[in-house]
Amino acid sequence: MYEKITEYARMLDEKSRARRRDFHKHPEMAWYEMRTSAIIAKTLTELGYDDVLTGKEVCLESARMGVPSEEELQAHAREAIAWGAPEEYLTDEMKEGYTGVIGILHCGEGPVVALRFDIDCLGMREDATTEHRPYREGFASEHLGWMHACGHDGHATIGLGVAEVLMKMRDQIHGTVKLIFQPGEEGGKGARAIVAHGHLDDVDYFIGTHVAPSGGPDDGDLTPGTWGSLANWKYDVHFYGKAAHAGGFPEKGCNAIVAAANAVLNLYAIPRHSDGITRVNVGVIEGGTGRNVIPDHAVLQMEVRGATTEINSYMDEQAKRICQAAADIAGCRCEMVLQGGGESQQSDEDFLAYIGNLVREQMPDLKVSSCENAQNWGSEDISLMMNRVQEHGGKATYMRSVTDMASAQHTTAFDFDEKVLVDAIRVFSLIVCDLLK
């Protein structure tokens, strides 16, 4: 059985590279992943998956965060069609921002295994120099200001490759497989809506991965688990003041920029926490209409993070107190709009040990790294899925699929060695087939 998995996966090498480059060329940000979702839904349907969930079947409406306006969504729907999205699968709900797909394979009685693949891009302008392979070889982003700079084009590709291998192996599988193609990981927007819909409530084993750079000569092809990602909350903080002529009647105004600036300075003065790491960042500040007008509106885009969900709650409470106080001092009103977030996570040690031993035994050409240094200093809303599975006694892990990278993730020259695609397809397929044999 295991030799067949490698054989089937390697047959997908050329297709996977082409598929990844197509996704890279047509990146889509959170809740805009219309073309991507339509292609995934079409592929899973044509493969013969028993259930292919889309639209409101995937994400609970009330749990979505940071959804673009109707006008913005409709504008991109037209772009997705122009990009060649399969229109018979581009549903009205997708056009309304209900993106993401879940493919389900029912193979009789047995455990339920869920795999998660995130599919969204970042709001970045891709490098347009000949040193950058996607530009040089003609698969750089066609949407100015949107870019797959984190590898989610690869994740979507890996998920579809796994889907193909598992269909060929389904006669040897006993249980249920859920392939979750998640929208809106960037900014922590999408996982919460999938969890709230109940899709993780019956899952016994949950696995996710992220393409990751090599940490040095001792790093392998796979790290079977990570730990310690930071819990986080992301906000748009609006300050509403009162406009007035800055020279003629300054006493009649309430300066929203002053409130925002005061908040920024004091957010960075939040005391650190003795129980673990904390982070705060204000990444955007906007406001005002002219130099002689007291501004009546300013907005901050900010986030807080903590080593645990509890420490993050401390940072959250401090941030709310500071923003409200800054508004009060300036005579303004403050509104904090939650845009996304996640919890801290911990891979199950016995589960990641099982995966490591399985890959070493059945795929000895792949080097498995120790998880001792696999601390994840970032934040990832996969934590919400992992924690939900673990809450009811299931096992979960978040792996690293190691590959060479041309530039760091979240940079304009990001690219990765596509060899990792087939390697990851092999690993995911192996784990599923072994768990459900």
The binding site for Mn(2+) consists of 150, 152, 186, 210, 410
Which two structure tokens, joined as six digits, stand for 246?
């800055």
Token pair belonging to 88: 């018979």
How many Å apart are CA 339 and CA 185, to the nearest integer?
12
Q: Cβ–Cβ contacts within 10 Å for residue 224, how many?
A: 29
Cα distance between residue 223 and residue 137, in whole Å = 31
User: Kind of pairing, strands 231-240 and 333-342?
Assistant: antiparallel
State the DSSP H helix or E strand holding residue 419, giving kind and residue range, or none if neither: helix 419-435
Rounded Cα–Cα distance for residues 25 and 349 (Å): 38
For the chain, how far is it from start to end, CA to CA, in angstroms?
10
Grouping H, G, I as helix, E, B as strand and the rest as coil, residue 104 is: strand
Nearest to 409 by CA among 221, 211, 224, 230: 211
Phi, psi for 115 (deg, rounded to 5): -120, 140
Structure token pair of residue 46: 């044509």
Per the CB < 8 A criterion, the answer to whether 163 and 179 are in contact is: yes
Tokens 């809303």 -> residue: 381
Closest CA to 262 of 317, 330, 321: 330
Is residue 160 within 8 Å of 151, Cβ to Cβ? no
Annotated binding site: 150, 152, 186, 210, 410
Q: How many Å apart are CA 81 and CA 83, to the nearest integer?
A: 5
Alpha helices in 97-183, H assignment, sequence order: 133-136, 152-169
